[in-house]
Amino acid sequence: MLRKFLKPMKLPAAADLGILILRVGLPIMMIPYGYDKLNVFLSGDHSFPNPLGLGSELSYILTIFAELVCSILIVFGLFTRAALIPLIINMLVIVLIVHAEDGFDKKEHGISFLVTYLTLFLTGPGKFSLDSRLFK
């Protein structure tokens, strides 16, 4: 079952190219957010919002994991669907909880990432990924 979940679906070549652009382009824009958070965290500043009641430090670590580690996995197309789950949850928390009372202008950035992550989750990583080599 896990193999089926991670296995890329067969798509036309143009679709695989489009997925490659999405899969690499958007996570590359997310990586600096995670990297900046990691540097702040490592400097000793562990203050961070606690929107789910897990504690500030754990929320911070989970956000860094999603934005940095999972984004890197997605760029390489490695365990893509599994790596997208934390990012989707992260964006849902940002859009629906952190910016719940804010206008669309504050939510737009998170929604853009969320829509792309959902699209990649549904399509899979495409032919040009490590997943396609590992889970043929």
Q: Is 25 inside a domain boundary?
A: yes
Residue 76's CB: how many other CB atoms inside 10 A? 16
In this prediction, residue 14 carries a pLDDT of: 87
Q: How many domains does the chain have?
A: 1
pLDDT value at position 121? Answer: 94
pLDDT beneath 70, residues of the chain = 1-9
Q: Say if residues 5 and 81 touch (Cβ distance below 8 Å).
A: yes
Tokens describing residue 89: 């949850």
**Model pLDDT, residue 4:** 66
Quick one: pLDDT at residue 10?
A: 76
In a domain, 90, yes or no: yes
- Give a yes or no: residue 136 inside a domain: no
- 4 within domain boundaries: no
Rounded to whole angstroms, the Cα distance separating 86 from 66 reads 5
Place of tokens 């629906």: 96
- What distance in Å separates the CA atoms of residue 76 and residue 71, rounded to the nearest whole number? 9
Q: Does any domain span residue 61?
A: yes
The pLDDT of residue 92: 97
49 part of a folded domain: yes
In a domain, 6, yes or no: no
Structural domain including 111 reads: 12-129
**7 in any annotated domain:** no
- Reported for 118-121, long-range contacts at CB under 8 A and 24+ positions apart, including other chains, are 118/88, 119/22, 120/19, 120/22, 120/23, 120/74, 120/80, 120/84, 121/81, 121/84, 121/85, 121/88
